[in-house]
Amino acid sequence: MNKGAFAAQKIFNEFGLDDLSEFSVEDLIHARDIILEEKKIQNADGRIVFGNNKSKISVNSDIKHSGRRRFTLAHELGHFEMHHNINTQLEDNSLTLDYFKSGNQEYEANQFATELLMPQSSFLNFITGKLFSPALLREIAEHFQTSITSATFRYLEIGKHPISVFYSKDKKVIYWKNSPNYFRKVKEITRLAPPDDSVAMEFYKAGTIYTKNDSAQEIVKSTWFETKDYDSADAYYEFAIVTKDFNTVLSVVWED
Ligand SMILES: [Zn+2]
């Protein structure tokens, strides 16, 4: 078990919980005697300040989606549980909340929030027998009351159907990741613009955001991956999860 998941399980044990169906994240924050405030924060979803006697978590009051707000709170609580003695203050913009980069502490806080909101066993139970689709990611986010982004990362790590994700901001690919054991060679795109024929690029060029029913857009393998002559022309799909206020796209790519 990773450090973040371990810290989340420790909280479950301490409070005698299997999951967060009875307790809210706010309950846990209050139980830790942390001050919680909602206010406008420029360019960040949340932050935590560690005081000598008390700590304070702030969450951006402009966050529209309750799932994203809840993931932010869980992430900040994770900092409290694990990084209390290392820092005096941590601030989280969309980048740090988006999982794989910007240092160990951020990854640990995300792992903590992921296990707290979507415990592995509950998650696997929930997806068993369900086919992968954008609708499933929405269903997961709704069921576990978290953001679709965090539901996607959870699925990437332990879901049944292999997927790849490509994260871009301001028309630049920042990182990508494949499901474990999904070997697709990604084109050289890091720090460059997303591919011209990608759904992500449609957003950056024309502001296109597809409706729920059209979330799965058909692309080709060569959109994001290296191809060889013998590659078949199997259909690939891209679901672009756009966060307009940070100008980011999380592209989810998969085959049937
Ligand atoms: Zn953080």
* pLDDT at site 87: 77
Give the model's pLDDT for residue 91: 84
Which one-letter amino acid corresponds to residue 134? Answer: P
Are 248 and 242 in contact by the 8 Å Cβ rule? The answer is yes
Element (H, E) at 217: strand 217-219
Three-state secondary structure call for residue 147: coil
Handedness of CA 114, 2, 94, 210 (dihedral sign): negative
Q: Which fold has domain 163-256?
A: Beta-Lactamase (3.30.450)
Please give the pLDDT value at position 101: 59
Q: What pLDDT score does 232 carry?
A: 74
Domain ranges of the chain: 3-120, 163-256
Q: How far apart are CA 36 and CA 114, in angstroms?
A: 20
pLDDT (tens, 9 = 90+) of the chain, 256 residues, equals 889 999 999 999 999 998 998 889 999 999 999 999 999 998 889 999 998 889 999 999 999 889 999 999 999 999 999 998 887 888 887 655 566 655 688 889 999 999 999 999 999 999 999 999 999 999 999 999 999 999 999 999 999 999 999 999 999 999 899 999 898 999 999 899 999 999 999 999 999 999 999 999 999 999 999 998 887 778 999 999 998 888 999 999 999 8
Tell me, in angstroms, the distance from the centre of ligand 1 to residue 77's CA.
9
Gap from CA of 106 to ligand 1 centroid (Å): 5
**Distance from the alpha carbon of residue 72 to the mean position of ligand 1, in angstroms:** 8
Span from the CA of 75 to the centroid of ligand 1 (angstroms): 6
Q: What is residue 69's predicted lDDT score, i.e. its pLDDT?
A: 94
What is the chain's length? Answer: 256
**Residue 77: its pLDDT value, please?**
97
Q: What spacing in Å lies between the alpha carbon of 172 and ligand 1's midpoint?
A: 22
Q: What distance in angstroms lies between residue 90's CA and the mean position of ligand 1's atoms? A: 6
Q: Using the mean position of ligand 1's atoms as its centre, give its distance from the Cα of residue 123 in Å.
A: 23
Cα 97 to ligand 1 centroid, rounded to whole Å = 7
Could you tell me if residue 131 is left (phi over 0), alpha (psi between -120 and 50 degrees) or otherwise beta? beta
Q: How far apart are CA 123 and CA 198, in angstroms?
A: 30
Structure confidence at residue 246 (pLDDT): 84
| pLDDT score for 88 | 83
Q: How far is the CA of 69 from the centre of ligand 1 (A)?
A: 13
The CATH number given to 3-120 is 1.10.10.2910
Ligand 1 geometric centre to CA of 184 (Å): 30
Q: What angle do CA 196, 197, 200 make, to 5 degrees?
A: 80
Residue 223 Cα, ligand 1 centroid: separation in angstroms? 32
| CA separation for the pair 101, 106 (Å, rounded) | 8
Per-residue pLDDT, 102: 58
Distance 104 CA to ligand 1 centre (A): 10
What is the per-residue pLDDT for 181? 86
Cα 76 to averaged position of ligand 1 atoms, centre (Å): 6
pLDDT of residue 168: 94
